[in-house]
Structure 1
Amino acid sequence: MEPVEAAKQILASQFPNCDAALLGGSIARGEGTKTSDLDIIVFDRTLSSAYRESFIANGWPVEVFVHNFTSYKDFFASDCKRGRPSLPQLVVEGIVLKDMKGIIPVIKKEAQQLLEKGPEPWTKEMIQQKRYFITDVLDDFIGATKREDELFIANHLAGLVHEFVLRINNCWTGQSKWFMKTLRKYDEQFAVEFAAVFEEFYKTGAKEQVIAFVNGILDMYGGRLFEGFCIGKVEK
């Protein structure tokens, strides 16, 4: 069954009294693959709280994100705080399946404004913490002698650097398939370099390019941080 028709039938059978609904995700973006599911955002003002549920229907794996008229705002706010706009992105790109009260344009506008504004800025203290943690993991990477350790330290390091560069430049972060998408949106050339230095390590085991790349990023924002770093200490 075609995705929009399948989604509409799911609404009719499982959420017949909902006020509004959208079909988001890779299907809505025209980027669906053979493993894509239907991401359906449901708005129902009678619900006491939000929930998420997964099931199979009409030949599709389905994920529903069900909200009342206030819970989605809480999720918008938490997404902004963590710097990863999952729900606002779903809403903005979503295909309208149902809109009994004409609320979808209002919610889409809210989501679009949040995406354009960007995540909550990091404080100076947060930037110092992130510099310290990257420094710590980079030292672990340099010192590691077992290939099995190097692989997973490199993966952790890539995630930290990805978050650091994007958040410090007021950009949204992303995981999994959104990792490179968010980097490219920030800076296409930087994204290419980022992927290339880690690919070189994964292919050959040579660490030099990754080390130089990470050091270069840290140097732009105060350099490595170890000496003098302190968190949680209460002065007497």
Structure 2
Amino acid sequence: MSELNKLSPIKAAEQFINDYFRDCQGALLAGSVVRGEATETSDLDIVIFDKHLTSSYRQSLVKYDWAIEIFVHSPTSYKHFFKLDFELARPSMQRMVSEGIIIKDDEILASIKQEATDQLNKGPEEWSIETIDTKRYFITDALDDFIGCSNRAEELFIANTLAELVSEFVLRTNKQWTGASKWVIRSLRNYDEVFTDQFVKAFDMFYKNGDKNLVIHLVDETLEPFGGRLFDGFSLGKN
């Protein structure tokens, strides 16, 4: 099939369900094609609900010139993944279900979509003071390594760790969902555009020319409302 004749995302999803999951009770097309963020390498994310299944599974395949990822569940097994994603504060399953375009529905999807939307709107569990202090300690530890390191190869990986720790800290202390990979920056932008620009500029400056000052300032600003850097007196697991 040529690019000109390639099926649209919705048509391809409909064809896939008709060809391979005709007897399912519900199917949703989700992902970047639904959000209007598709690129040349985007695939189709299809969430499928089938009462004949006893367990969930995920599968990747190519059909109709589309890379397709399917997430197949029974009408109840998705709840386990909702729970896991909620505990990780990375609600990928909830997002797919909430934003998904209905491809097929035997009147089961309204309640599942509402459940996903309610969880997204509620946000993740609030961090305890103990968790915040633990995270402060690990950020401080990484920052000290970053400041003291003079090995460029090691600095790159310390910076990566620091970026992950700081982005998580900012989001979780503000009761926001986190993410992985591209969803880190998307989650930050969803929370605070100004901070995100500052965050990107700081790390971009370091990666381009090795200047650590903006990163150090960013980290200290992030920790300051919670007591700043933490090392002296911190303990973990002491009775």
* TM-score past 0.5 threshold: yes
Instruction: Look up the match of 1:57.
Output: 63
Deviations 1:178-227 (A, max 9, x none): 22221111111111111111111111101111111101111111111112
Q: What is the alpha-carbon root mean square deviation over aligned residues?
A: 1.1
- 108, 123, 132: which one aligns with 1:127: 132
- 16, 40, 53: which one aligns with 1:34: 40
Please show how residues 66-105 of structure 1 align to structure 2 within 5 Å. Answer: 66-100=72-106, 102-105=107-110
Could you tell me how far apart the structure 2 residues matched to 1:129 and 1:53 are?
37
TM (norm. structure 2) is: 0.94
SS state at 2:196 partner: helix
Q: Give me the identity figure in percent.
A: 53
SS state at 1:228 partner: coil
SS state at 1:174 partner: coil
Count the aligned residue pairs. 233
Instruction: Look up the match of 2:4.
Output: none
Q: Which amino acid aligns with 1:198?
A: F
Instruction: Look up the match of 1:200.
Output: 205
Q: Which runs of 5+ in 2 are unaligned?
A: 1-6
2:32 equivalent to 1:9: no
Moved over 6 A (4+): none
Could you tell me how far apart the structure 1 residues matched to 2:219 and 2:139 are?
8
Could you tell me how far apart the structure 1 residues matched to 2:233 and 2:76 are?
44
Please show how residues 204-219 of structure 1 align to structure 2 within 5 Å. Answer: 204-219=209-224
SS state at 2:47 partner: strand
Q: Which runs of 5+ in 1 are unaligned?
A: none
TM (norm. structure 1) is: 0.96
Deviations 1:92-135 (A, max 9, x none): 111100001x1111111111111110011112221111111111
